[in-house]
Amino acid sequence: MREPMPTLAPRQILTLLPLAALLSGCGSAVLDPAGDIALQQRDIIYVSTALMLLIIVPVLVLIVVFAWRYRQSNKDATYDPNFDHSTALELVIWSAPLLIIICLGALTWWSTHLLDPFRPLNRISAEKPIDPKAKPLTIQVVSLDWKWLFIYPEQGIATVNELVLPVDRQVRFDLTSTNMMNTFYAPTLAGMIYTMPGMRSTMHAVLNRPGQFEGMSANYSGAGFSDMRFKLYGVDQGGFDGWVARVKGSGRTLDTKGFLDLQRPSQRVPAMYFSGVEAGLFNRIYNRCVAPGTPCMSDMMNHARPAGGAHAEGMPMTGAMPQHDHPSGHDEARPPESGGEPPQRISLTPVPAEPGVARAGAA
């Protein structure tokens, strides 16, 4: 005989309520942003939710109203078994959702362009416009298995699993990956953006208040994915300069050999600091030619250019590659046939001279 399911006493239920409240705060970072981009994204969530509730709440209310009004015991309700159409109802049923969809579409179009991660910021915060003379802080981000590498090219330092940003200063992130696709995500800073091998993404963001926050990979990438997290610190300019000085005093340089050791898969890696970085290391990472003797992607693509086919930087070439005949004088793609049509040549579009740029929208 099956035993009855245990029940919770009212006192036990009241005891569990605080625990449920704590669990509900696990995702509070998205709704408590520390950066202007994340703040605008949070506002979009609020507005989108409110627009959808405009149709959801009335529907839920009307379900209860109709069920009560047209219940079997209500003899005063109109009973019309032949009812099949109402123009007024059709207008309400179709126009209200249509207007909400139009509003959501306009909001999506507007926010997609305004919060494009490739677009430089037009303000530091709602109260503080951006200084056009202020140069963004450039940080090069590399996702490895399973850790994050941050290179500060202007300061000549690098860190692993620790990102320190000065408050109220625009930051430009250049991002790539060594082995597989990941997603760079700091909920209090900005949205998510992909990192991919052989590709370079860009994201602009700003941190508006000091504090300690957390970043992570939001795209499953293997066994160490769960612990692929980093600490994000917001400090004032003086604190940032002091932190840079401490990193410079670590006495460890990130060179080719050090990076090849670093990119080996490892899990739960503590913060690491490098007082110097080998010149051009990030470009070689996303060109996939860090290991000695490995040809760079950009060099291989340059070899694919047709003679005299110079073109603007970053623009794809539209001409066909020169055709190479077989040493016998016949086309290599198709042997000649007696009495048949001449062999057809196949035109190929060359690859651009620079590695591709991975572009992903904010989440």
Asked if residue 320 has pLDDT above 90, the reply is no
Q: What pLDDT score was predicted for residue 340?
A: 42
CA 62/CA 319 separation, integer angstroms: 63
CA 288/CA 286 separation, integer angstroms: 5
Q: Read off the CATH number of the domain in which 122 is found.
A: 2.60.40.420
Asked if residue 332 has pLDDT above 70, the reply is no
Instruction: Classify residue 236: in a domain, yes or no.
Output: yes
Q: What is the rounded average pLDDT of the residues 10-29?
A: 55
Q: What pLDDT score was predicted for residue 13?
A: 52
Q: What is the rounded average pLDDT of the residues 233-240?
A: 96
Q: What is the rounded average pLDDT of the residues 237-257?
A: 94
Q: Which domain holds residue 258?
A: 29-66+90-301+352-363
- Max Cα separation, the chain? 97
Residue bearing the bigger pLDDT, 164 or 219: 164
Going by C-alpha positions, the residue among 250, 232, 229, 230 that lies closest to residue 155 is: 250
Q: Which tokens is 74 given?
A: 């209500």
Q: Annotate 92-108 with b (16+ C-beta within 10 A) or e (fewer).
A: eeeeeeeebeeeeeeee
DSSP state of 306: P
Q: What pLDDT score was predicted for residue 251?
A: 85
Dihedral (Cα; 215, 26, 210, 37), 10-degree rounding: 70
pLDDT over 90, % of the chain: 57
300 pLDDT tier (thresholds 50, 70, 90): confident
Poorest-confidence range of 95-109, 182-196, 281-295, 312-326?
A: 312-326
Q: What pLDDT score was predicted for residue 158?
A: 97
Q: What is the rounded average pLDDT of the residues 102-126?
A: 92
Instruction: Classify residue 134: in a domain, yes or no.
Output: yes
Instruction: Classify residue 314: in a domain, yes or no.
Output: no
Q: What pLDDT score was predicted for residue 297?
A: 87
323 pLDDT tier (thresholds 50, 70, 90): very low
Instruction: Classify residue 340: in a domain, yes or no.
Output: no
Q: Parallel, antiparallel, or unpaired: how do β-strands 171-177 and 276-277 relate?
A: unpaired
Instruction: Classify residue 117: in a domain, yes or no.
Output: yes
Residue bearing the bigger pLDDT, 19 or 330: 19
Q: What pLDDT score was predicted for residue 306?
A: 61
Asked if residue 203 has pLDDT above 60, the reply is yes
Q: What is the pTM of this model?
A: 0.73
Write the pLDDT tens digit of every residue in 144-187: 999 999 999 999 999 999 999 999 999 999 999 998 899 999 99
Mean pLDDT value across the chain: 81
Instruction: Classify residue 7: in a domain, yes or no.
Output: no
Residue bearing the bigger pLDDT, 335 or 90: 90
Q: What pLDDT score was predicted for residue 78?
A: 83
Q: What is the rounded average pLDDT of the residues 37-64?
A: 93
Q: What pLDDT score was predicted for residue 142?
A: 97
Asked if residue 97 has pLDDT above 80, the reply is yes
Q: Annotate 284-302 with b (16+ C-beta within 10 A) or e (fewer).
A: bbbbbbbeeeeebbbeebe
**How many domains is the chain built from?**
1
Question: 15-29, 290-304, 348-362: which has the highest mean pLDDT?
Answer: 290-304
Q: What is the rounded average pLDDT of the residues 2-27?
A: 52
Q: Which residues contact 129 (CB under 8 A, 6 or more apart)?
A: 122, 123
Q: What is the rounded average pLDDT of the residues 227-254?
A: 94
Instruction: Classify residue 54: in a domain, yes or no.
Output: yes
